[in-house]
Structure 1
Amino acid sequence: MRILLIEDEARLAGFVQQGLVQAGHVADVAATGPEGLERAATTSYDVILLDLMLPGQNGFEVLRNLREFGLDGVPVIILSALSDTPHVIRGLDAGAVDYLRKPFEFDELLARLRAVERKRGSPEAAVLRLADLELDPIHRSVTRAGQPLTLTNREFALLDLLLRNAGRVVTKTRIAEKVWDVDFDMGSNVIEVHISQLRRKLDRAFPDRPPLLETVVGHGYRLVGSPTASL
């Protein structure tokens, strides 16, 4: 998932962002209410993690403005040290889908994120299949021809994106947006390196199987094959 964390405490923001990335998510950080709103308005996020005590605009104002901007379809989980019941009720009534009191265990945050996926009935949680390839986003497992593949978090996120767009070309720009953070250097060859590593594990390791990953020169990359289930 691509997640926006709106949190002004730099140490906590860094810890949460690092943990989300290690868990295979893409995580951007905004330190103020207005910055968070700007990022939410210009980038497509799957979930927003929102502190309440923010400079510029507090979390309740951010929630109200998200509704006014037509962004209230993005699930918001409040992360706040304001743990009394009235604040929890106010946050949920303002549109948040969950409220996690600080301090919290990071594993609990990951569990809340998985719960949001399930509650939304989102295709994000569905097992993806193409030909003899299968990816389970919840259990974070990948198999080809019944054999498990060991992927890094970036490779997993890249394959997930390509599978969700099977048969369609995915541009380098879109890969950078969905798999890397907002500070990604488009002039680097990082994406090409990860594509090469993914191709080695996905295709070259199965020489008796048709290749699935194609490079469309000048455009991007795509997965090809006969789908065995609806994506």
Structure 2
Amino acid sequence: MRVLVAEDHHVLARTIAKGLRRASIAVDLAASGDEAERMCLLTDYDVLVLDRDLPVLTGDEVCRRLRALPDPPRILLLTAAGGVAEKVYGLEELGADDYLAKPFDFAELVARIQVLYRRAPKPPAAVLRHGRVRMDRTRREVLVDGRPVDLTPKEFAVLHLLLASPDEPVAHRDLVRSVWDENLAPTTSAVRATVSRLRAKLGGPDTIAADTGRGYRLAR
């Protein structure tokens, strides 16, 4: 899952990002409304955590503009305006998917983000298979030859992308874009190291092939 947090209070934004990353959620940050809109147009975020009181372009206007897109991210308005009328306005008039008032409990924020992610339209198949590998996304379970394999959240996410595209290599940049966040440079060795560990857990170096210049794919 990849989340954009649009919050101009820098300390709060960094705190939210740090906590979400600990929950194995990839997070990018935007400090203004125009930046948030631009980033959403360039990247397919699963959830946007959006402060209503943003500079340059208000969160309300960002919400309205994104709702006009054919496939907008799920939007959670996070704001100090916590009255009932404000909540109704945010949900009914602005079209937000959820509304959370400040101050908030962080565990509740994570739970609401997870719920929004699960509500995404046309969810992918819960069970994916390829050769000896079986993944149940709902149970977060991976079996190889019927035996459970313990994967880290990053390894699980990489394997999911590979299983979802069994016939085409998944490019390095697509792995970075979907599994990691903007703090990870595309040239980092993190992807290579994660794939290496995943190979070992799936049964050896031949389980995931590296197509030079194209990316990674599961061995046929």
Verify same fold: TM over 0.5: yes
SS in 2 for 1:77: strand
Q: Could you tell me whether the CA contact under 8 Å between 2:46 and 2:117 is conserved in 1?
A: no
Q: Could you tell me whether the CA contact under 8 Å between 2:162 and 2:170 is conserved in 1?
A: yes
Q: Could you tell me whether the CA contact under 8 Å between 1:117 and 1:125 is conserved in 2?
A: no
C-alpha RMSD of the superposition: 2.2
In structure 2, distance between residues paired with 1:165 and 1:36: 29
Equivalent residue number for residue 2 of structure 2: 2
In structure 1, distance between residues paired with 2:124 and 2:101: 26
Equivalent residue number for residue 214 of structure 1: 209
In structure 2, distance between residues paired with 1:124 and 1:28: 24
Q: What TM-score do you get using the length of structure 2 for normalisation?
A: 0.88
Which AA in structure 1 matches 2:80?
A: A
Which AA in structure 2 matches 1:73?
A: P
Equivalent residue number for residue 48 of structure 2: 48
Q: How much does 1:128 deviate? A: 2.7
Cα separation, partners in 2 of 1:139 and 1:109, compared to 1, 3 Å: farther
SS in 2 for 1:57: coil
Equivalent residue number for residue 229 of structure 1: none
Percent identity between the aligned chains? Answer: 37
Cα separation, partners in 2 of 1:184 and 1:56, compared to 1, 3 Å: same
Q: Could you tell me whether the CA contact under 8 Å between 1:41 and 1:71 is conserved in 2?
A: no
Cα separation, partners in 2 of 1:163 and 1:107, compared to 1, 3 Å: farther
Q: How much does 1:125 deviate? A: 7.2
Equivalent residue number for residue 200 of structure 1: 200
Which AA in structure 1 matches 2:77?
A: I
Task: State the number of aligned residues.
Answer: 219
In structure 2, distance between residues paired with 1:198 and 1:156: 9
In structure 2, distance between residues paired with 1:123 and 1:194: 25
Equivalent residue number for residue 65 of structure 2: 65
Q: Could you tell me whether the CA contact under 8 Å between 1:22 and 1:153 is conserved in 2?
A: no
Q: Could you tell me whether the CA contact under 8 Å between 2:210 and 2:216 is conserved in 1?
A: yes
Equivalent residue number for residue 76 of structure 1: 75
Which sections of structure 2, spanning at least 5 residues, go unmatched?
Answer: none
Which sections of structure 1, spanning at least 5 residues, go unmatched?
Answer: 206-210, 226-231
SS in 2 for 1:120: coil
Q: Which digits, 9 at most, give the CA deviation of each residue in 1:119-160, with x for residues without a partner?
A: 335425723332332333344332222322222222122112
Which AA in structure 2 matches 1:19?
A: G
Q: Could you tell me whether the CA contact under 8 Å between 2:47 and 2:117 is conserved in 1?
A: no
Equivalent residue number for residue 163 of structure 2: 163
Cα separation, partners in 2 of 1:115 and 1:187, compared to 1, 3 Å: closer
Cα separation, partners in 2 of 1:114 and 1:183, compared to 1, 3 Å: closer
In structure 2, distance between residues paired with 1:221 and 1:18: 29
Q: How much does 1:187 deviate? A: 2.7
Which AA in structure 2 matches 1:222?
A: R
Q: What TM-score do you get using the length of structure 1 for normalisation?
A: 0.84
Q: Could you tell me whether the CA contact under 8 Å between 1:52 and 1:78 is conserved in 2?
A: yes
